[in-house]
Amino acid sequence: MGYIYLGVTIILEALAILFMKQSDGMVVKLWAILGGGFYLAAFFTLTLALKTLPMGNTNAIWAGGSTVLVYIIGYYWLGEKVSLLEMGFVGMIIIGIVGLQLVGRG
């Protein structure tokens, strides 16, 4: 169940960041408020995930997973430019997350 909460946390944080971006530097207050609300929800689900998952791995997966998801949203939804080198580094984040899971299970 902890991994389900962690997955929800990653999605909520990615949405919070998207909404903050849409707020245009707090000019559009509704988006900023939504972003803050999604951050609060993300912290709530993260707390639930930490009940059963180890803290270090949970934080690494949360940070890396939300980074990758935000990067993908920025590219596909917002049309942000992406270089091949950047994609390689994002790939390394994914490899790190998978590696943590493999090592943690051994």
The structural domain count of the chain equals: 1
Q: Across residues 43-58, what is the average pLDDT? A: 95
Distance in angstroms (rounded) separating the CA atoms of residues 16 and 45: 14
Write down the pLDDT at residue 106. Answer: 46
Q: Which domain holds residue 78?
A: 2-105
Q: Are 11 and 68 in contact (CB under 8 A)?
A: no
List the structure tokens of 60. Answer: 């690494």
Write down the pLDDT at residue 105. Answer: 60
- pLDDT tens for 62-106 read 999 999 999 999 999 999 999 999 999 999 999 998 888 888 764
Distance in angstroms (rounded) separating the CA atoms of residues 90 and 65: 10
Phi, psi of 19 (to 5 degrees): -65, -40
Q: Which long-range contacts (CB under 8 A, 24 or more apart) does 35-38 make?
A: 38/12, 38/13
- pLDDT tens for 12-46 read 999 999 999 999 999 999 999 999 999 999 999 99
